[in-house]
Amino acid sequence: METDSLYLRLAAHYRRAILGGVLAPGDRLPSVRSLMQSHHVSLSTAVQACRRLEEEGLVEARPRSGYFVLRPRRPVLAPVREPDVSRTPDPAQYVGIHDRVSAFIARCEAMGSGSNFAMAAPPAEFFPVEALKQAMMRALRRHPEMLCSRVPPQGHPALRSVLARRALEIGVQAHPDEVIVTHGCIEALNLALRAVARPGDTIAVESPTYFGLLQVLESLGMRALEVPTRPQHGMSVDALDLALQAYPDIRAVVTIPNHHNPLGCVMPDAEKARLVALCERRGVALIEDDTYGALGDAGPPPALKAWDTTGNVIYCASMHKTLAPGMRLGWMLGGRWSRRIEMLKFAQTRPNEPLAQAAVADYMGSKSYDRHLARLRVRVRNQREEMADAIARHFPEGTRLNAPSGGMLLWVELPAGTSGTGVFERALRDGVRVAPGAMFSNSDRYDHFLRVSCAEDYTAATARAVRLLADAVAAEVPRTARAAA
């Protein structure tokens, strides 16, 4: 009688073939009869091996056809480690995050071509270029005088209406007059922060968080307090509560609740409700950056603003990731700070120019926009899953990864002691760009992380670049970690 280990060895053989890409999703596994013949095993062993692979989610049985390789739906890597939510880090001020980030960005930009896993922006062909061009042409033909007339205050009425209507999908009731159109989400964040806080004030943010937010805080002379954040559930409300008690000078919380950058996670509804209630109770403004929400695989998760009954939440969003990176349009709902935000917007850049707004309102009000979003979500999801598979296949043992349910970002935890910045340097030499974890914190807490952006179609070139990246990671894994693995 054959031992148990025989069917396990057989399963392991085919597992490697699947994870290594020798057998691709959709491929048929050799039939049970072929397995018996090729490997000289019994029917029982062949069947047990197939069932084992089926349990692991690597193949599926199709009646009367055999076993077929599946696209792995669950991460085959362990999830990213949870933080200690009882620690409350010190606020950091002007630690040079801007220069650090700028240096990374400049070095990436200096490399004109090659695979780009650093940039969280899909190429133009992912967006409805032709339809937007036509919408711009129509707006120009109808109202060319817009180019040379005074601009309407706070935004073009048609766009404000469309945005208020779209906000219903994320659970937010807003009158068009409350919508303030901005130069991207970044201006919205600036205005929100300037409305509720002053230089020297402390602002609670996720840890890790979007480097652009850290740059904004540094440029405004505000201090970032990085709140422990759970990689699959977002900012820890309990840790925030502790921080608010420890630091009474925290003026605001800035959070990315939906498809967080860089974590990719969505804060569960119950946590969203708790977070909104906590900030309200403590009298701390809650600023929400919803840049990625619309890229949820199953549509946009609800905004924090949906739980806001008192105007304590400032909602900020943009069209960069979903529609038109080159038009630089964002928008916000100012809650109880609306009037002050309108004043600051007027004093900072005046209202936005109307032409682009008219065109985008035209397109966003149409069914074409919904069809585009649906296609974009599928495309981004496929890229993300291909990338996750490839990382699972090629990155060294000890790598950890979550499986976000939307967005284009993967937050990769490298084996302990591996320098993400070292990986960045090595990969750059090989023509591959990636964002090292050091960009996402004022501390060095995430230096053994990478943010891998899946913004481009997954092609043979992408596959080659992932392997180069995996080689760079492997070369940076410290010997001790390699020995332990």
Contact residue for a second copy among 328, 445, 464, 482 (CB under 8 A): 328
Give the separation between CA 362 and CA 360, rounded to whole angstroms.
5
Residue 370: how many CB atoms within 10 A of its CB? 11
Q: What SS3 class is residue 359?
A: helix
| Residue 289 found at the interface with a second copy (CB under 8 A) | no
Give the separation between CA 43 and CA 245, rounded to whole angstroms.
65
Residue with tokens 């766009």: 159
| Residue 352 found at the interface with a second copy (CB under 8 A) | yes
DSSP 176: G
| Residue 341 found at the interface with a second copy (CB under 8 A) | no
| Residue 261 found at the interface with a second copy (CB under 8 A) | no
Contact residue for a second copy among 346, 375, 461, 480 (CB under 8 A): 346
Q: How far is CA 386 from the centre of its chain?
A: 16
Question: Which CB sits closer to a second copy, 108 or 472?
Answer: 108
Angle in degrees, 0-180, between the axes of helices 211-219 and 97-110, rounded to the nearest 10: 130
Question: Which CB sits closer to a second copy, 109 or 370?
Answer: 109
The token pair at 96 is: 């040079």
| Residue 126 found at the interface with a second copy (CB under 8 A) | yes
Contact 80, 452 (CB under 8 A): no
| Residue 172 found at the interface with a second copy (CB under 8 A) | no
Compute how many residues bind a second copy; rule: CB under 8 A.
Answer: 61
Compute CA distances 295 → 145, 185, 301, 322, whole Å: 35, 16, 9, 7
Selected range binding a second copy among 137-145, 259-267, 294-302, 421-429, rule: CB under 8 A: 137-145
In the region spanning residues 304 to 323, those forming contacts with a second copy, defined by CB under 8 A, are 323
Contact 17, 23 (CB under 8 A): yes
Contact 400, 81 (CB under 8 A): yes
| Residue 57 found at the interface with a second copy (CB under 8 A) | no
DSSP per-residue codes, 375-423: HHHHHHHHHHHHHHHHHHHHSPTT-EE---SBSSEEEEEPSTT--HHHH
| Residue 96 found at the interface with a second copy (CB under 8 A) | no
Contact 420, 474 (CB under 8 A): no
Give the separation between CA 72 and CA 172, rounded to whole angstroms.
35
Question: Which CB sits closer to a second copy, 58 or 344?
Answer: 344
| Residue 203 found at the interface with a second copy (CB under 8 A) | no
| Least distance CB 123 / a second copy (angstroms) | 8
Contact residue for a second copy among 3, 4, 84, 130 (CB under 8 A): 130
Give the separation between CA 79 and CA 167, rounded to whole angstroms.
32
Question: Which CB sits closer to a second copy, 319 or 423?
Answer: 319
| Residue 221 found at the interface with a second copy (CB under 8 A) | yes
| Residue 456 found at the interface with a second copy (CB under 8 A) | no
| Residue 368 found at the interface with a second copy (CB under 8 A) | no
| Residue 147 found at the interface with a second copy (CB under 8 A) | yes
On the question of a cis peptide bond just before residue 144, with omega within 30 degrees of 0, the verdict is: no
| Residue 190 found at the interface with a second copy (CB under 8 A) | yes
Selected range binding a second copy among 39-47, 65-73, 219-227, 462-470, rule: CB under 8 A: 219-227
Question: Which CB sits closer to a second copy, 21 or 144?
Answer: 144
Paired with 393 in beta bridges are none
Residue 302: how many CB atoms within 10 A of its CB? 19
Compute CA distances 397 → 173, 391, 427, 469, whole Å: 48, 11, 19, 14
| Residue 442 found at the interface with a second copy (CB under 8 A) | no
Using CB under 8 A as the criterion, what x/- string covers residues 225-244 for binding a second copy? --------------------
| Least distance CB 346 / a second copy (angstroms) | 7
Using CB under 8 A as the criterion, what x/- string covers residues 149-168 for binding a second copy? xxx-x---------------
Question: Which CB sits closer to a second copy, 116 or 419?
Answer: 116
Query: What residue ranges bind a second copy (CB under 8 A)?
Result: 98, 102, 109, 119, 121, 123-130, 132-133, 136-137, 140-141, 144-151, 153, 183-184, 186-187, 190, 194, 198-199, 212, 215-216, 218-221, 323-328, 343-344, 346-350, 352-356
